[in-house]
Amino acid sequence: MKKRDLLTPLDFSKEELDELFDRADDIRQHPEKYAHACEGKKMATCFFEPSTRTRLSHETAMLNLGGKVMGFPSGSVSSATKGETVADTARVISCFADIMVIRHPKEGAAAVAAHYASIPVINAGDGGHQHPTQTLTDLLTIRSLRGSLDNFTIGLCGDLKFGRTVHSLINALVRYENVRFVFISPEELKVPDYITDMLNDKGIPYEECIRLEDVIPKLDILYMTRVQKERFFNEEDYVRLKDFYVLNKAKLKRAKPDMYILHPLPRVNEIAADVDDDPRAAYFKQVQYGVYVREALILKLLNIDVDKL
């Protein structure tokens, strides 16, 4: 059987994603059933740039499955400092581990690793390009909270121009029925043309606006992202606009009682601390769902069928 990798969120069909999410649900409900599923298997986490949360989430997933983990947390402690190529690293890691997780500052590095590795490769972020396990996490979170990935309105708020998690999530959600998009951002950080072109081509409805308050009552999911000061051309614009993209209890009063708030984290100040206790705040649950979906992903890529063990 040809090995599978996860390089982009679209590497799996909708049906495969449904299976993956069903498995993640089962893992959430029956963790003991999976506690030894990866016994004897090793996962290498190769992080050429640091990302504590993503690395620990993958490692937790493997440990929960009874497997072992090894790796390096930053490029400065790997052979990359000696000039080793990603291709060679992938070949070498294939001799040590059963599955490889890679984060790299350069776009496309995971695709190179997957090409040269003989073991499955998970892309844990390649520069500003793709971060598919975050998208899987987002999809599982929405599905678990709402019961379905069809028929809802999602507001994406903040930096929609440079935010790769936003682009990946949109690309993944267009495969589902009747998902409506509301893009909330300053003019400087609007969603790129290639995304709106794609939505227009597919006839998928969307609207763009500047103020969160104007649209929050119609949203079923609010996906917050950080607006970084350095993205603005001048300080004046930043000061004028930054509060539009801060969610607080006052703004939340106008939202539906069953609207859920997601955030890929880390959060800085775009969600006020007084929102954390609101039952609609789902961003920490999202982290937990990230572990379940990574467990399901590891099982899928290693072709481990727990029901046959």
41 contacts another protein (rule: CB under 8 A)? no
Is residue 240 involved in binding another protein (CB under 8 A)? no
Q: Is 280 a catalytic residue?
A: no
Among 30, 33, 53, 106, binds another protein (CB under 8 A): 106
Note if 103 is an active site residue: yes
75 forms part of the interface with another protein (CB under 8 A): no
Amino acid (one-letter) located at 122: I
Distance of alpha carbon 253 from alpha carbon 250, whole angstroms: 5
Stretch in the footprint of another protein (CB under 8 A) among 98-106, 149-157, 180-188, 266-274: 98-106
- Alpha carbons 200 and 206: distance in angstroms, whole number: 9
Stretch of residues binding another protein (CB under 8 A), selected from 29-37, 127-135, 154-162, 251-259 = 127-135
Q: Which stretch binds another protein (CB under 8 A): 18-26, 34-42, 122-130, 232-240?
A: 122-130
- Exactly one of 8, 45, 54, 225 is catalytic; which is it? 54
| Contact pick of 112, 252, 262, 296 for another protein (by CB under 8 A) | 112
Strand partners, 44: 70, 100
Give me the catalytic one of 2, 82, 229, 308. Answer: 82
DSSP collapsed to 3 states, 35-73: CCCCCCCEEEEEECCCCHHHHHHHHHHHHHCCCEEEEEC
**Is residue 167 among the annotated active site residues?**
no
Sign of CA dihedral 225, 228, 232, 238: positive
Smallest separation, CB 109 to another protein (Å): 5
131 given a catalytic annotation:
yes
Give CA–CA dist 179/282, Å, rounded.
19
Q: Is 229 exposed, middle or buried (0-12, 13-18, 19+ CB in 10 A)?
A: exposed
Residue in 145, 195, 203, 201 with CA at minimum distance from that of residue 172: 195
3-state secondary structure of 232: coil
* Catalytic residue, candidates 23, 131, 251, 267: 131
Q: Is 86 a residue that touches another protein (CB under 8 A)?
A: yes
Q: Which of 53, 106, 115, 249 is catalytic?
A: 53
> Closer CB to another protein, residue 66 or residue 108?
108
Q: CA end-to-end span of the chain, whole Å?
A: 19
Q: Does 111 bind another protein (CB under 8 A)?
A: yes
Choose which of 16, 18, 107, 276 interacts with another protein (CB under 8 A).
107
- Footprint of another protein on residues 175-204 (CB under 8 A)? 194
Q: Which stretch binds another protein (CB under 8 A): 20-28, 101-109, 203-211, 293-301?
A: 101-109
Q: Is 42 a known active-site residue?
A: no
CA distance 219 to 255: 7
Integer CA distances (angstroms), 159 to 30, 225, 230, 269, in order: 38, 6, 11, 14
Q: Which of 103, 167, 226, 263 is catalytic?
A: 103
Q: Which stretch binds another protein (CB under 8 A): 61-69, 105-113, 261-269, 279-287?
A: 105-113
Cα within 13 Å of Cα(272), Cβ side: 14
Please identify every residue annotated as catalytic.
53-54, 82, 103, 131
**Which residues of the chain form contacts with another protein (CB under 8 A)?**
85-87, 104-109, 111-112, 126-129, 194
